[in-house]
Amino acid sequence: NDYNKSRCLMLSRISRVLVIKKIDADLMNEFNEIIWWLMKNENITVYAEKTEFSDKSITDKLRVYSSDKQVDLIVTLGGDGTLMHASSLFPLAMPLTIPFNLGTMGFLTPHSFKEYRNIIENVFKGDYKILNRERLFCEITKVDSILTAMNDVVAIRTCNKYFRMCKVNIYVDDIHLTTVEGDGVIISTSTGSTAYAAAAGSSLLHPSVSGIVICPICSHSLSFRPLIVPLHSNITLEPIDHVQINIDGVNVCYLSSGQRISVCRSINPIPCVSFNSDYEFYSGLNQCLHWNKRGIRN
């Protein structure tokens, strides 16, 4: 069976569901609706983040989520950023995830909220497929924590008084590939190839494509084109000058000469419920990204 499109075998009954709502979004009606519907099932315990409800609403069936809690299923209500937030909560193994589209873009969240009952009931019955979205595992010399990226790892120049270019040596499997001179470099998953990397000129990768994208940001050399390396590659970035490191758009640290960040495939992808990943990707290119759409001329 294809690793990224395998049909799920239910090893245990789903009994603990985490519902994550888009931060600072007016989605309380949808949030409350799905929570109360889930709680009607006597075998389900629902978790939510502390910021989403008052202490008075906490019961035996509705609990505050914390990192020490075990979860069988994640339901996200929002857009691509909400799925990214869910990924950040689970740097190791991530539970099965159903992303419902209630955001602005929705390229990675193909499921309509109007269909949540049918979709979740099918998941409870085990009638669904999985699209495993690969993640990147990151080791940074000065950061003592586990870091994973759903979209990308970015080394970008800092705002110094001289506005110098960013200079970073790139190694692939301990082989020196090149030295970046420009605004920076993006190391991206296939999922992230449609995000920041796409804006920087990368090719768009189907999420089932096993590869890692190395994409320059405003390179000083016009011959430095985006490169796709095998998914099993180990990529090391060694800055020559001071650089800023962002993971999925969040600044995690600054590195200087003598320090490094190592990036490789995470053994823990994001298992997303998918009923037709090919249709979801290609229709998303047209409907969300408006890929190759041209205006009608008079």
* Distance between CA atoms of residues 51 and 28, nearest Å: 12
Q: Would you place residue 68 in the very low, low, confident or very high pLDDT band (cuts 50, 70, 90)?
A: confident
Q: Are residues 233 and 113 in the same domain?
A: no
* Distance between CA atoms of residues 128 and 212, nearest Å: 27
Phi (first) and psi of residue 204, to 5 degrees: -95, 125
**Structure confidence at residue 11 (pLDDT):** 45
* pLDDT tens by residue, 118-146: 999 999 988 889 999 999 999 998 777 78
From first CA to last CA, the distance across the chain in angstroms is 50
Task: Tell whether the model's pLDDT for residue 114 goes beyond 80.
Answer: yes
Per the document, the length of the chain is: 298
- Residue 295, in any domain of the structure: no
SS3 content of the chain, % helix, strand, coil (to 5): 20, 35, 45
Residue 250 corresponds to which amino acid?
V
Task: Report, as an integer, the average pLDDT of 48-70.
Answer: 76
Helix H or strand E encompassing 112: strand 111-112
Percent pLDDT > 70 in the chain is: 91
Q: Is 173 in the active site?
A: no
Please give the residue range of the domain that contains residue 62: 16-133+269-289
Query: Any residues with CB less than 8 A from the CB of 137 and at least 6 apart, and which?
Result: 146, 147, 148, 263, 264, 265, 266, 267
- Residue 298, in any domain of the structure: no
Indicate which CATH number applies to the domain containing 80: 3.40.50.10330
* pLDDT tens by residue, 149-190: 999 999 999 876 556 788 999 999 999 999 999 999 999 999
Task: Tell whether the model's pLDDT for residue 15 goes beyond 50.
Answer: yes
Of 24, 26, 60, 80, catalytic: 80
Question: In the structure, how many helices (H) and strands (E) does the chain have?
Answer: 5, 20
Q: Would you place residue 9 in the very low, low, confident or very high pLDDT band (cuts 50, 70, 90)?
A: very low
Q: Are residues 75 and 179 in the same domain?
A: no
Q: Are residues 123 and 70 in the same domain?
A: yes
Q: Are residues 73 and 152 in the same domain?
A: no
**Structure confidence at residue 12 (pLDDT):** 55
**Structure confidence at residue 91 (pLDDT):** 92
Regarding pTM above 0.95, the answer is no
Compute the radius of gyration of the chain from its Cα atoms.
21
Q: Would you place residue 293 in the very low, low, confident or very high pLDDT band (cuts 50, 70, 90)?
A: confident
* Distance between CA atoms of residues 214 and 154, nearest Å: 10
Indicate which CATH number applies to the domain containing 155: 2.60.200.30
What is the overall mean pLDDT for the chain? Answer: 89
Task: Report, as an integer, the average pLDDT of 282-294.
Answer: 89
Name residue 20's beta-bridge partners.
76
| Cβ(24)–Cβ(52) below 8 Å | no
Q: Are residues 245 and 140 in the same domain?
A: yes
**Structure confidence at residue 3 (pLDDT):** 42
Q: Are residues 252 and 284 in the same domain?
A: no
Tokens standing for residue 252: 């995690």
Q: Would you place residue 59 in the very low, low, confident or very high pLDDT band (cuts 50, 70, 90)?
A: low
Using left for φ > 0, alpha for ψ between -120 and 50, and beta otherwise, residue 194 falls in alpha
**Structure confidence at residue 4 (pLDDT):** 44
**Structure confidence at residue 245 (pLDDT):** 95
Tokens standing for residue 84: 């990214």
Name the domain count of the chain: 2
Residue 211 corresponds to which amino acid?
G
Q: Are residues 255 and 141 in the same domain?
A: yes
Q: Are residues 126 and 182 in the same domain?
A: no
Q: Are residues 123 and 76 in the same domain?
A: yes
* pLDDT tens by residue, 227-267: 999 999 999 999 998 899 999 999 999 999 999 999 999 99
